[in-house]
Chains A and B, each alone.
Chain A
């Protein structure tokens, strides 16, 4: 066979990615996390989304950016279990901030995971970015989806958490 099984696309892609960048990322259940140690007391910041656009979120995992990212299947929201797997791999008792684009599926699944974490006494919070001005009129701006502007927010959130200024 000249190509991998399409059903194992996400798993194969993640294995290849972490093998190519072992100094930066490690594979965890549901996605990848930073390979470097997080400072004590730091709030973990994660994001996530479907696969199909590369390296996308796996490429912004690291110090001062995302501590981990949840990787769903091709153009599909990650499941709640995926988000929980990533969150549990990185959260160290100081809380976790989940940031994502304002997509219906992502938002529901991230919020379900956030609620489950809160039930486990983890200080978990979520925030969704609505920068796509073409997606809805100004009077319905809360319905706008996340687009390229998400990267600036991911960076700002990651930098704020690394500097201890995310509260």
Chain B
């Protein structure tokens, strides 16, 4: 019974994620695309929670469907020109792009279906403690580099947006 519920949850989430992602890609209005992208991020966050990665789910909700979505909408507002021109026009080369992408998807799915992966279920109840232990012991150097990268990205974004002489 719980397997059936799991399957139903997975397929509903997968449907939500893929349909909203298709809406992002095929939509002509950029603001609608941003809204659908946020819905897709929320679906992915729910998928993380289904995979017992509850901390990652919370991070996904806060960083992607919170921060990134707001930054993207702000970028759309700042670079929007007029109501008359479509905000997100599609390219002329849609058919070759579809061919390449379809080929890529078929290739990936074929590789997956022929690869003999022995799977087990691995569940950690307290992911926050486990992740913090790893982050501050074995992976402390990448953690510090990540902090430096975030600082550099913040300063770089400010200088890029304001102009070098205005800061």
Q: A and B: partners?
A: no
Footprint of B on A, CB under 8 Å? Answer: none
